[in-house]
Chains A and B, each alone.
Chain A
């Protein structure tokens, strides 16, 4: 077994996800195989209903696959019990959501601190990590503010700080610019780009090809499968046609 020598952070092999509702089986994902190497910046795109959110939920250990194998950081995770999955998720994965997902009555500092509190990290270490993370995203001067006192772009920067504060092995971003105007969206993209240059592994779901261009590798899903991408299909996907 020399698997540990390989630099893959994510290894997915023949992953499937089937939803069963009223005698109808929906194959949200069919035999998806995907490796993401340490330090890579990957985008996942495709039309609505193509399975990209399902794939991201499985990547982020928010959901489990129906079949196939998933190794995160050289460790099989598809069959972990819920409590263990939650622990791995908290330590290994940093999430960035479209809607920022900050808690309105906690300050910027407390929002960033929250995932660290769950690990039982000592207060002094926590403070240091939070301060460092806020400095990385240029929001240290806003540590005591509440989310409602910030613009959308600034809130997303705080959410990025929260995601990186725990030093996860991978950052998962779900349409991180979806609620932002194009200028703030570009600023958040620039921030992800900087984090990538500094060594972060990033996997971003976006249906916007302008933002996908920031990634090194673009993966396209169509009807739950990874597809190659000839030019005409790209235009198809961009139009976001109902499937």
Chain B
């Protein structure tokens, strides 16, 4: 099992009481799955995704990542695990505007001990694989939204993470561009990458193999 959540809960203080965002979540995700998290606004979808991505540590319950207990880890260990194993795609791309496509792709590699020569070859290989070689010296502002997200996805998977997490990856795109990103997710998944995405779109969810429905912090259907 890649991910196991056991009675995971997330609360926020609200005056003297606590308000629940996630309630007794029990979810297992196997390697190679393509999961969509759906539900109305405020259901806890993004909160769950960011906990999976180890961006958020203020929860209770148990989280096992490849059988390692994340709930017992220090912030530093969690951050290591995150950097080594998780790729994240954001709705608004999160590319750096003063770096070229090439340099944006290099970012995750600069956080691992990857030598210069090897870095160059990994970036070159990724530019090829995503067919963006011609764009390597351009800046994000010179690309369309769809192309920017393509770079965002390429950056998220460049260091071969165990799992790709995506928060509304097509939320800022036209439907045609959104479709291209989903086709790309399907290809990545076919090639073995585990994917979990938060989406409002039934069309996007149809690309996946499983849908987890959240409502008011509960898993209501899986």
A-side residues, CB < 8 A to B, are: 57, 60, 62, 82, 86, 89, 93, 95, 97, 99, 101-105, 107, 110, 114, 117-118, 144, 146, 148
Decide if B103 is an interface residue (CB 8 Å cutoff). Answer: yes
Summarize B's interface: helix, strand, loop or mixed: loop
Instruction: List 7 additional contacts besides A57-B141, A118-B110; criterion CB under 8 Å.
Output: A60-B98, A97-B97, A105-B82, A105-B86, A114-B107, A144-B75, A148-B55
* CB <8 Å contact, A104 and B100: no
Given contacts A62-B139, A104-B88, A105-B88, contact A95 B55 (CB under 8 A): no
A89-B82 in contact given A103-B107, A104-B90 (Cβ < 8 Å): no
Chain B 76-92 interface mask (CB, 8 Å, partner A; 1/0): 00010010001010101
Asked if B73 is at the interface of the complex by the 8 Å CB criterion, the answer is: no
Say yes or no: B110 contacts A117, CB within 8 Å.
Answer: yes
How many A-B residue pairs have C-beta atoms within 8 angstroms? Tell me. Answer: 47
Give bound CA distance, A148 to B91, whole Å: 13
CB distance from B181 to the nearest CB of A (A): 17
Q: Does the CB pair A104–B94 fall under 8 Å?
A: yes
Q: Which of B40-72 contact A (CB under 8 A)?
A: 50, 53, 55
- Taking residues whose C-beta sits less than 8 angstroms from the other chain, chain B's interface range is 20 to 34
When the two chains form their complex, are residues B98 and A62 in contact, meaning their CB atoms are under 8 A apart?
Answer: yes
Residues of A with C-beta under 8 A to B143: none
Closest to B91 in A: A104
User: Residues of A contacting B96 with CB < 8 Å?
Assistant: 101, 103, 114
The answer to whether B98 and A118 touch across the interface, beta carbons within 8 angstroms, is no
* CA of A118 to CA of B116, assembled, Å: 11
What CA separation (Å) do A196 and B155 show in the bound complex?
36
* Residue B183, interface by CB 8 Å: no
- A95→B139 CA distance, assembly (Å): 14
Q: Tell me, yes or no, whether B137 is within 8 Å of chain A by CB.
A: yes
Q: How far is the CA of A103 from the CA of B111 in the complex (A)?
A: 13
Give, as a whole number of angstroms, the nearest-CB distance from A137 to chain B.
18
Q: Please report the C-alpha to C-alpha distance between residue A90 and residue B120 in the assembled complex, in whole angstroms.
A: 18
Q: Known contacts being A95-B98, A103-B96, A104-B94, is A82 close to B137, with CB within 8 Å?
A: yes
Q: List 16 A-B contacts (CB under 8 A).
A: A60-B98, A62-B139, A62-B141, A97-B98, A101-B97, A103-B96, A104-B55, A105-B55, A105-B82, A105-B88, A107-B79, A114-B107, A117-B110, A118-B103, A118-B110, A148-B55
Which 3 pairs across A and B sit closest by C-beta, in order of nearness? A95-B98, A105-B88, A117-B110
Q: Smallest distance from the beta carbon of A210 to chain B beta carbons, Å?
A: 25
**Distance between A20 CB and nearest chain B CB, rounded to angstroms:** 15
Interchain CB contact under 8 A, A95 and B88:
no
A39 to B205, CA, bound (A): 54
Most chain-A CB neighbours within 10 Å: which of B90, B98, B100, B111? B98
Q: Given the known inter-chain contacts A86-B103, A89-B98, please indicate yes or no for A146 contacting B55, CB distance below 8 A.
A: yes
B107 touches A95 (CB 8 A): no
- In the bound complex, how far is the Cα of B96 from the Cα of A117, in angstroms? 14
Q: How far is the CA of A114 from the CA of B106 in the complex (A)?
A: 11
Identity of the chain A residue whose Cβ is nearest the Cβ of B87 in the assembled complex: A105
B-side contacts of A146, CB under 8 Å: 55
Q: Which A residues touch B97, using CB under 8 A?
A: 62, 95, 97, 101
Output the nearest chain A residue to B79 by Cβ-Cβ distance.
A107
Bound together, the chains give a CA A57 to CA B98 distance in angstroms of 9
Most buried by B among A62, A89, A93, A99: A62
Least Cβ distance of A126 to chain B in Å?
11
Question: Which A residues lie within 8 Å of B110 (CB)?
Answer: 114, 117-118
B132-143: contact bitstring with A at CB < 8 Å (1 yes, 0 no)? 000001010100
Closest to B50 in A: A148
Q: Within the assembled complex, what's the spacing in Å between the Cα atoms of A155 and B88? A: 19
Q: How far is the CB of B180 from the nearest CB of chain A, in Å?
A: 22
In the assembled complex, the CB of A91 is this many whole angstroms from the nearest CB of chain B, namely 12
* Distance (whole angstroms) from the CB of A66 to the closest CB of chain B: 16
Contact mask for chain B residues 92-114; partner A; CB cutoff 8 A; 1 contact, 0 none: 10101110100100010011000
For residue A93, which residues in chain B have a CB less than 8 angstroms away from its CB? 98
CA distance A150 to B152 in the complex (A): 22
